[in-house]
Amino acid sequence: MTTLRIMRYALLSGAYDYGSIYTWRSWLGGWFLRVLAQVSFFALIGRLLGAEQQTWFLLVGNAVMLAAMEGVWALNMVSWERSAGTLPLLAASPTSPVLVLASRGVYLIADGSISALGALFVLGPLFGLPLPWPRVLLVIPLTILVGASAYCLGTFLGGIVLGYRGVNSLVANVGLVAVMTLCGINVPLAAYPGPIAWISQCLPVTHGLIAVRDVLSGNLAAAGVQALIEAAVAVCWLGICLLTFRWFVYRGRRSGSLEYAT
Amino acid sequence: MRGFRAGFRLQLSFFRNYPDMLIPLLTAPLFTIIFSMVLRHGGRSDLSGYAVIAPFYMSLWWFAIFNGGWVIQTERWEGTIDYLVAAPTGFASVIVGRISTMMFAGAFAFVEVWLFGRYVLHATVTIHHPYVFGASLLLTLFAMTTTSLFMANLFVLSRSAVTFSNSASYPIYLLGGILVPIALLPGWLQPVTNIVFLSWSARLLRGSLGATPIANAGFDLAMVFVLGLAALILASALLTRILRRAQQTGELALR
C-alpha cells in the first residue's frame, strides 16, 4: 500500500509539473504544432522521392517515434529533482529513489502517446494514408506500449546520468536521435547492416513500430507477435533499470554527485 | 570590440565546461546518417547533398535558440546581468560576442557533416559554386546571429519563451525548406516561407552543390541579408525597451 501511495503522489507531482508548463492552448498552439511539423518534415521526404509508400512509411514511423521521444525524456526526471534540490532527500529516504523517479514521469507516456496518435490521425488522412477501421484502433495500445517501453529505457538512462550531472541533455538528445537512427523509424530494418540490425532488436520502439505497421497492413497475427516482443524488451529494460539503479545511487552517495545543481 | 572579444572568450569557456552545449555536434552526423539512408533507400543517392545541408541548419538553429536565445535570460537568473549592464563596455557587444561563438560552433557543424558525409558515408557533396556557397554561408551565419539576438531579447519579455523554444524547431525547418524544397509544401503555406530567411539560404546552399547554374542567386543573397538586418533592427528595439524598463522599475536581475 505504501508503495502504491508513493507512486500515486509521484505521478501527481509530475502531472502538476507538466500542467504548470502547458495550458491546453499552449499545448495545441505550441507543442502539437511542432509535433505535426516534425512528422510532416520527415513524411515530405517521401514526397521528394516521389514514392507514396515511402511517405506513409516515414509518416507512421515518425508519428510513433513521438511516443518514444517523450518516453526517453524520463531521464530528465533526475535533473529536475536535482535542480529542485530534492535528489539528495530522495537518496536519503527509506523508499527506493527509482520508485519515485519512475512514477513521476508516467505522464510522459500519456502525453507522448496522445501526441503520436494525434499526429497519425491528423496527418494520415492529409497524406492519404489508409487507416482501416476498426483495426486501426489497435494502434492505440501499441503506441502506448512503445511509449512505456521507451520510458523504461529513459529511466535506466536516468540512473546513468545520476552521477554525471553535466551530461543529462547530451544523453537525452543523442539517445533520442540514436533511437531514431537505429529502430526502423525511417527505413526498414532490412536496410541496416547486420550488426546494427541486431542492436535494433534489443531497443525499444523497433518491434512495437513493426506491430503498428503490421496492423495498418492487416497482418494482425504478426502484429501480435511483434507486440509481445516489444513488451519483453520493455520488461528487460525495466529489469536492468531496477537492478542497476540502487548501484547508481550508491555511487552517487559515495562521490557526492547527488548535490543540488541547476 | 573588447566586449565582443570578452563575450567570445566567455562562451568558449562555457563550451569547455558544459559539454551539454555542444549537443548538435554529436547529433548532426546521426541526422546525416538518417537522411542519407532514406534518400539511398529511395534510390536517390544523387540528393546526398541534402543529407549534409539539413543537419547543418538543424545544428545552427539549435545553437541559436537553445544557447543564444537564452543568453540574456540566464544572465538575469544568475544575477550577473547587473554587472554586465553597469560595466563600461557595451552590454550588446558582449552578448553578440557570445552568440557569435555559437555560430562558429554551428559553422563547424557544417565542416563536420560535410567530412562525415563525404568520407564516411561516401556521399557526393561537391561544391560546384564556391563563391555563392561562401557568400550564402557567411550571410546565413549573420542572419542566424541576428535572429538569435532577437530571440534572446524576446525571451526576456515573453512568458511563453520555454514553450516557444521547445516548439519552434520543426515548424522552422519545414518553413525554411532545409531538407525538402518549399515547392513541395502546400500552396497556402508557401508565401509564409518568404519571411523565413532559411528558405532563401537553403535554396542557395543546395543550389551551390548542384552543377547547374543557380537562378536569382543575387536576389536570394539579398533576401538573406535583408531578413537578417530586419532581425537586428527588431533585436535592437527590444533591447532598448528592456534596458529602459529596467531603469524605470529598477528590476534587472530579478524576474
Taking only the tens place, the pLDDT of each residue in B200-253 is 999 999 999 888 888 888 999 999 999 999 999 999 898 888 888 877 777 666
Nearest residue of B to residue A48, measured between CA atoms: B180
Nearest residue of B to residue A23, measured between CA atoms: B163
User: Could B20 and A48 be called an inter-chain contact, meaning their C-beta atoms sit closer than 8 Å?
Assistant: no
C-alpha–C-alpha distance, residues B148 and B255, integer Å: 21
C-alpha–C-alpha distance, residues A13 and A105, integer Å: 9
Output the pLDDT for position A33. 93
Side chain identity at residue A48, one-letter code = L
Give the best residue of B14, B30, B166 to mutate against chain A (max A CB count within 10 A): B30
How distant is the Cα of B12 from the closest Cα of chain A, in angstroms? 16
Nearest residue of B to residue A192, measured between CA atoms: B37
Residue B254 phi/psi, 5-degree rounding, is: -85, 145
Output the pLDDT for position B15. 84
Output the pLDDT for position A261. 55
C-alpha–C-alpha distance, residues A68 and A186, integer Å: 14
Residue bearing the bigger pLDDT, B25 or A83: B25
Q: Is A113 helix (H, G, I), strand (E, B) or coil?
A: helix
Output the pLDDT for position A158. 83
Q: Which residues of A touch B (CB under 8 A)?
A: 21-22, 26, 30-31, 33-34, 37-38, 40-42, 44-49, 51, 54, 58, 166-170, 173-174, 177-178, 180-181, 186-188, 191
Instruction: Return the exposure string of B69-83: e unless at least 16 CB atoms fall within 10 Å of the residue's CB, then b.
Output: bbbbbbbbeeeebee
User: Could A34 and B171 be called an inter-chain contact, meaning their C-beta atoms sit closer than 8 Å?
Assistant: yes
Determine how many CB atoms are found less than 10 A away from the CB of residue B183: 10
Give the pLDDT means over successive 10-residue stretches in chain A (262 positions): 83 83 83 94 92 93 94 82 78 80 85 95 94 93 95 87 76 89 91 86 94 94 95 93 81 72 52
User: Could B174 and A37 be called an inter-chain contact, meaning their C-beta atoms sit closer than 8 Å?
Assistant: yes
User: Could B35 and A38 be called an inter-chain contact, meaning their C-beta atoms sit closer than 8 Å?
Assistant: no
C-alpha–C-alpha distance, residues B37 and B40, integer Å: 5
Q: Among residues A226, A95, A203, which one has the least CA distance to residue A157?
A: A203
C-alpha–C-alpha distance, residues A217 and A210, integer Å: 10
- Grid coordinates given for A77: 526526471
User: Could B20 and A169 be called an inter-chain contact, meaning their C-beta atoms sit closer than 8 Å?
Assistant: yes
User: Could B166 and A31 be called an inter-chain contact, meaning their C-beta atoms sit closer than 8 Å?
Assistant: yes
Q: Please work out, in degrees rounded to the nearest 5, the angle formed at the alpha carbon of residue B181 by the alpha carbons of B202 and B128.
A: 50
Output the pLDDT for position A260. 56
Taking a C-beta distance cutoff of 8 angstroms, is the pair B105, B63 a contact?
Answer: yes
User: Could B167 and A34 be called an inter-chain contact, meaning their C-beta atoms sit closer than 8 Å?
Assistant: yes
Output the pLDDT for position B252. 66
For residue B41, give the nearest of A40, A173, A191 by CB distance.
A191
pTM value > 0.90: no
Output the pLDDT for position A80. 77
User: Could B42 and A169 be called an inter-chain contact, meaning their C-beta atoms sit closer than 8 Å?
Assistant: no
Please state the three-class secondary structure of chain B as a single string.
CHHHHHHHHHHHHHHHHCHHHHHHHHHHHHHHHHHHHHHHHCCCHHHHHHHHHHHHHHHHHHHHHHHHHHHHHHHHHHCCHHHHHHCCCCHHHHHHHHHHHHHHHHHHHHHHHHHHHHHHCCCCCCCCCHHHHHHHHHHHHHHHHHHHHHHHHHHHHCCCHHHHHHHCHHHHHHHCCCCCCHHHCCCCCHHHHHHCHHHHHHHHHHHHCCCCCCCCHHHHHHHHHHHHHHHHHHHHHHHHHHHHHHHHHCCCCCC
Output the pLDDT for position B254. 55
Output the pLDDT for position A96. 78
Mean local confidence (pLDDT), B80-98: 82
